[in-house]
Chains A and B, each alone.
Chain A
Amino acid sequence: MSDLNYSMGGYAAFVWSSVALVLGLLVWNVWSARRRLAQAMLRARRAQQARAGRS
């Protein structure tokens, strides 16, 4: 592993910050989509419970 090019020929700050940003975006997209799904599931469950209560 020590032979791997972490210094990126002097461009490490630019390369690694770009990689970190995009990996962060990937994680944020998964997290926010799953959070939205959980919220929608809760809203749908409440709406169905309200319907069941009315009938």
Chain B
Amino acid sequence: MNWTWFHRLASPPHVYRLATRLAPWLYAGAALGIAYGLIAGLFFAPPDYQQGDAFRIIYVHAPSAWLSLSAYTTMALAGAVALVWRIKIGYAVAAACAPIGASFTIGALITGSLWGRPMWGTYWAWDPRLTSELILLFLYFGIISLRQAFDDPARGDRAAAVLGLVGVVNVPIIHYSVQWWNSLHQGATLAKWAKPSMPGSMLVPLLSVLLGFMLFFGAVLCTRLRAEVLVRERQSNWINEMVSIP
């Protein structure tokens, strides 16, 4: 099997060009998936038999929570690749993931809180799922701050990658917290091996928004990655044609 395409992913000019080409398609796919899913979920899906129309918060809460975990996993993997194989583009990917993941962790926490108030009678409880998601937010803040805390950017990148790897233990804790401990939070709506706990008319819009959010993550990651590559490679010869000096 020819692995050239894979090895080229370590090359900043190749990644920059790839991100430039992919981003518009990812933004377009994200817009379609999110628009269809939100319209169908908010207006045309039937109300839940227990939660009524309040369940519709799932169409923004679950994708935000999923994106917060996906961004963290991507960031930790990219950091690991950079640390183990000394592939510098991994640090750029990790740096690009952090603000996206942090913003959607805030989104997941606030929308969860707004869902919790009518369903549980409180905006916040020190529940395992909520607490571990809050820890995820602090991890994101810590990683972003740590990267900027060093005068030498390379040391900042390494320190942030190590903290990212240490913190990845929190990802399965968040995911399985509703099974491992008594939790106010409902169980998984979508599980790998189990039948979904909602009918198709509710599920299809949710899957559409989830797919849209994943594409959105990819699109914003491409844009942020281009910025990271430009900053890190600004003294390189190949940058000259990218920034097109008149």
Bound complex: CA A29 to CA B52 (Å): 31
Per-position binary interface string of chain A over residues 35-55, scored 1 when its CB falls under 8 Å from any chain B CB and 0 otherwise: 011011101110111011000
B140 at the interface (CB under 8 A from A): no
Taking the nearest CB of chain A, how far is it from the CB of B30, in angstroms?
A: 8
Interface of B is mostly: helix
> Which residue from B34, B53, B106, B233 sits with its C-beta under 8 Å from A11?
B53
Q: Is B230 an interface residue (CB 8 A)?
A: yes
B25 to chain A minimum Cβ distance, whole angstroms, is 15
A-B pairs under 8 A by CB, number: 113
* Cα distance, A51 to B53, chains bound together (Å): 60
B41 CB, min distance to chain A CBs, angstroms: 10
Q: CB within 8 Å of B: which of A1-52? A: 4-5, 8-11, 14-15, 17-19, 21-22, 25-26, 28-30, 32-34, 36-37, 39-41, 43-45, 47-49, 51-52
Q: Which 4 residue pairs of A and B lie closest in terms of their CB atoms, listed nearest first? A: A9-B53, A33-B223, A40-B230, A22-B60
In addition to A9-B52, A21-B111, A25-B106, 20 A-B residue pairs with Cβ atoms within 8 Å of each other are A10-B52, A11-B52, A14-B57, A18-B61, A19-B38, A21-B60, A22-B60, A22-B63, A25-B107, A30-B220, A36-B223, A37-B227, A39-B227, A40-B230, A41-B230, A43-B234, A44-B239, A44-B242, A44-B243, A52-B245
